Amino acid sequence: MRHLLSVDDLGAEGIEEVCRLADHFTEVSQRPIPKVPALRGKTVAMMFCEDSTRTRLSFEMAARRLSADVMGFSVSSSSVNKGESIRDTVDTLSAMGPDAIVVRHRSAGVPQQTAAWTDASVINAGDGWHEHPTQALLDCYTIRQRLGTAAGRRILIVGDVKHSRVARSCVTAFTALGAKVTLAAPPTLLPPAVETWPVDVSFSLDAVLGDCDVVYGLRMQSERQAEALVPSLREYTAQWGLTAARADHLPPGALVMHPGPVNRGVEIASEVLDGPNATLVEQVRHGVAVRMAVLYLLLGADSGQIPPGETP
């Protein structure tokens, strides 16, 4: 595999392979010196043209723990602000010879386009409403750590599915692993042609809450909404928020997941976020090991430095 543009590039086997490698890199991350030489001499360039906290920091941390060099790039301090095109930006980064470029952009398709313009491996770190494959991978890994397997699990994805690249990648990944996915959202927040997705749909959260192993909340993505799709955030929370009262109806042990950043009290109540079944902090922690696995697969798997499954 040269690029990671979509969860489809991996399939179920690839997802399992990433999870197996992530087990190994989790162990590495727990060492007093959490670093291995697997990608020494390689350079990973970050091309983040949209805001990010956890994804960007997590990729940087992952690259450094593999001993790669990191080349930072953020739009607010770059020549993109002077009107430079994406093509010229990619050519400029590529001219410096990075081995991988991690791309986030507000438009769907930019990572694919970047892959056509560069010799580097390209990793999609979120493109518009389209995909966010490493988020889905770290979510699969979190479910595997907590529940053993995603196969046969009932996963409820709640909220702004329409604008969510996370939901698109997660539906693909979860169903590839054999989970049963239900989307719960008002019709205005569902994507067009949702009937072609391999999911069930519910227009009532209360109707499906008692019957799931995982409830996965999505952020209300107001910055991607061109019109008012819900009457008000207060009304949204009343119908679709995972309030403490609703959380009481979840089956015991059901996980509460969210990709972050979370609007506390809007999609999930604070006390639920801070409860024992919420996995938000674990998701972030696993993100580093999972991204180490992805970088290793793309850039280092043939280096022979860390045979998968063996402790170096």
Site residues, ligand NCD (CB under 6 A)? 54-55, 126, 132, 135, 165-166, 219, 221, 259-260
CB burial string 26-51: b at 16+ within 10 A, e below: bebbeeeebebebbeebbbbbbbbbe
The number of C-alpha atoms within 13 Å of 177 and in the hemisphere containing its C-beta is: 30
Q: How far is the CB of 36 from ligand NCD (least distance, A)?
A: 25
- Using alpha carbons, select from 123, 118, 152 the residue that is nearest to residue 1: 123
- For ligand NCD, give the closer residue by CB, 53 or 149: 53
Q: How far is the CB of 260 from ligand NCD (least distance, A)?
A: 5
Q: How far is the CB of 267 from ligand NCD (least distance, A)?
A: 10
- For ligand NCD, give the closer residue by CB, 108 or 151: 108
- Using alpha carbons, select from 122, 121, 95 the residue that is nearest to residue 111: 122
- For ligand NCD, give the closer residue by CB, 51 or 69: 51
Q: Which residue is nearest to ligand NCD (CB)?
A: 219
Answer whether 95's CB lies under 8 Å from 119's CB. no
Q: How far is the CB of 312 from ligand NCD (least distance, A)?
A: 30
Question: What length does the chain have?
Answer: 312
Residues 6+ apart with CB under 8 A from 273: 256, 258, 262, 264, 280
Q: How far is the CB of 166 from ligand NCD (least distance, A)?
A: 5
Q: How far is the CB of 51 from ligand NCD (least distance, A)?
A: 8
Q: What is the DSSP letter of 8?
A: G
Question: Containing H/E element for 65?
Answer: helix 54-65
- For ligand NCD, give the closer residue by CB, 14 or 259: 259
Q: How far is the CB of 135 from ligand NCD (least distance, A)?
A: 5
- For ligand NCD, give the closer residue by CB, 153 or 165: 165
- Using alpha carbons, select from 284, 307, 295, 261 the residue that is nearest to residue 62: 295
- For ligand NCD, give the closer residue by CB, 270 or 311: 270
- Using alpha carbons, select from 267, 291, 30 the residue that is nearest to residue 141: 291
- For ligand NCD, give the closer residue by CB, 114 or 135: 135
